[in-house]
Amino acid sequence: MSMNDEHRARLRRFRESIDNIDAALVFMLAERFKITQQVGVYKSKYDLPPADPAREGEQIERLRDLAKTANLDPEFSEKFLQFVIREVIRHHESIRSGEQNDSRWS
Amino acid sequence: MSMNDEHRARLRRFRESIDNIDAALVFMLAERFKITQQVGVYKSKYDLPPADPAREGEQIERLRDLAKTANLDPEFSEKFLQFVIREVIRHHESIRSGEQNDSRWS
């Protein structure tokens, strides 16, 4: 379990690439939530249902296929999408309940 | 809760952008796991510990700062990183136990 200078230097190079990718992921996620935020406002405005199981099923299938071409575990891509969608639905519900609160007091 | 053609068309345009971003996320994640896979093999080869709490703390702080500049919830960026790291550690442990199995039988 020793960690000499060569190990540290090698791990540092790996980590620089991981850090670059993580920055890209954070900015892509931010952009994704900007769009789902607009979707949430739109759905709330027209009283459309926040979740859409048919759409989610299509997204999961599509990402599983993309994952295979990218040599990523399709199970992980599905768990990842569900993790993101849970956050989106949480946002949508808070947009909806925010509007309900407004109408309650106006 | 009606969904007329205008709503469908508007949601489809949002969803095309979400699908593009999701494809980018899947390919970035695949690239990230290619690197962490190399890290796992390297750590296993030199018997370095699979997890590194100090490194994880730095990653979390860095991503929280990036999230703020991207207008993404820092709490979400932290949950996201922990979600990805759990998968990485699972990979590393399976690399390690795979090697242990190999040495057990060779």
Q: How far apart are CA B31 and CA A35, in angstroms?
A: 24
In terms of Cβ atoms closer than 10 Å to its own Cβ (0-12, 13-18, 19+), residue A41 is middle
pLDDT at residue A70 greater than cutoff 60 = yes
Q: Identify the pLDDT of residue A34.
A: 96
Q: Identify the pLDDT of residue A99.
A: 58
Q: How big is chain A by its Cα radius of gyration, in Å? A: 20
Superfamily of domain A3-105: Chorismate mutase (1.20.59.10)
Q: Show residues of chain B in contact with A81, CB under 8 Å.
A: 22
Burial A61-78 (b: 16+ CB within 10 A, else e): ebbbebbeebebbbebbb
Of B11, B39, B70, the CB nearest to A30: B70
Domain ranges of chain A: 3-105
pLDDT averaged per 10 residues in sequence order, chain B, 106 residues: 81 96 97 95 89 91 96 95 92 75 36
**Shortest distance, CA A42 to any CA of chain B (angstroms):** 9
Q: What is the pLDDT of residues A11-58, one digit of tens each?
A: 999 999 999 999 999 999 999 999 999 999 999 899 998 788 999 999
For chain A, the 3-state helix, strand and coil shares in percent, each to the nearest 5, are 85, 0, 15
Q: What is the pLDDT of residues A79-101, one digit of tens each?
A: 999 999 999 988 888 887 875 54
**C-alpha closest to that of A87 among B101, B92, B75, B10:** B75
Q: Identify the pLDDT of residue B17.
A: 97
Q: pTM for the whole thing?
A: 0.86
Q: Show residues of chain A in contact with B29, CB under 8 Å.
A: 25, 70, 72, 76-77, 80
Q: How many CA atoms lie less than 13 Å away from A3 in the CB half-sphere?
A: 10
pLDDT at residue A1 greater than cutoff 60 = no
Q: Show residues of chain A in contact with B11, CB under 8 Å.
A: 39, 42, 48
User: Which chain B residue is nearest to residue A20, measuring alpha carbons?
Assistant: B32
